[in-house]
Amino acid sequence: MLKWLWLSALVAALDLTTKAVASHYLVLYQPVPVFPGFNWTLAHNSGAAFSFLASESGWQRWFFSVIALVVSIGITIWITRLKSTETWLAVALALVLGGAIGNLWDRVTLGYVVDFIDVYYQQSHWPAFNIADSAICVGAVLLIIDSFRGERDDAKDGGVKKTKTKNGV
């Protein structure tokens, strides 16, 4: 199922390209309204999701980089072990991998992750995010859905996994 790594590469490329465009055209923390509930707002996140540990002294850069690298290696190994019928799972993992690589690149090269998508309602803003974060979230949702699909498939088989033997029975 390594054929799905193109999706990871596409996500990482789109993520890095949009971050470069945002960094070039936007001013840090200055919102550019697009329509009600949506702004472009350049932000630098030295922490993790929701700026977790962002105010630390800098050790978190390497901590989150190592986690992203280990997770990326683990996902790549997982993808190599998938059956050809596990397309849904392969897509989910490829999305998470592409997002992890995009954010890892930022952490290693810049020391922070570039965020630029600002969604809000009235005065309440969701933390700024990027294409990598979106891909990770979509991939995570697909993983959850796939876990239920697997349970449904097992239930159809009466909870017994069917395997073929040498003679095909």
Residue 146 a catalytic site member: no
Among 123, 139, 113, 7, residue whose Cα is nearest residue 53: 113
What would the two tokens of residue 71 be? 């997770």
DSSP state of 48: S
Pick the catalytic residue from 106, 115, 118, 146.
115
Instruction: For CA atoms 125, 33, 131, 65, give the dihedral sign.
Output: negative
Which of the residues 15, 106, 118, 133 is marked catalytic? 133
- Catalytic annotation on 133? yes
Beta-sheet pairing, 38-45 with 124-125: unpaired
Task: Evaluate the CA torsion angle 154, 147, 10, 79 in order and state its sign.
Answer: negative
Residues involved in catalysis: 115, 133
